[in-house]
Amino acid sequence: MSDRKTDLIKDKDHPAAKGAVTGGVVGGVAGGAAAGAMAGGMTGPVGAVVGAAVGAAVGVIASRRKHDPVLEDAYWRDNYSSRPYVASGAKFDDYQPAYRYGSDSYAKYPDLAFDDVEADLGRDWNSVRGKSSLEWEHAKHATRDAFHRVGNAVERAVPGDSDGDGR
């Protein structure tokens, strides 16, 4: 199990956060250079700040399309048993395909809410479940959890409400 502090430490290593940092640095340099070239030395630092924000957004958008399945598996292996939908004594191997499915689904549908894609995901669950014994009615909770985890990592990496969920 982990506490909130450990979760935040792990989340900074999430690909979406890394994409935001990389995009921020690249965007900051490019934006600062462009603003400085156009308006002179005084707007260079302002251009760098604006460029960093734009670059961070671009980095997050690019990283939404991918995630690190090894990192996600490690997180869920350490935390699955504390989730309210997991039956006492349940094995991670039953839930792992659902977590992977949720992470992959966010990468596939970054601009949609889980509720918007749940019916499609449920329909396709049997083709991705592998050896999981979970039926969709139980797997969907883990899938939703992973979908939101990836989406929340993106949300924390970008100022404002990048995914339009009101948070």
pTM, full prediction: 0.60
Start-to-end CA distance of the chain, whole Å, equals 26
- Comparing CA positions, the residue from 136, 68, 52, 79 lying closest to residue 107 is 68
Pair of tokens at residue 50: 């604006």
Instruction: Please state, in angstroms and rounded to a whole number, the distance separating the CA atoms of residues 84 and 54.
Output: 38
Instruction: Please state, in angstroms and rounded to a whole number, the distance separating the CA atoms of residues 34 and 54.
Output: 13
Question: Which residue matches tokens 């989406």?
Answer: 151
Mean pLDDT, residues 135-146 taken together: 97
- Residue 61, pLDDT above cutoff 50: no
pLDDT grade, residue 159 (50/70/90)? low
- Residue 43, pLDDT above cutoff 50: yes
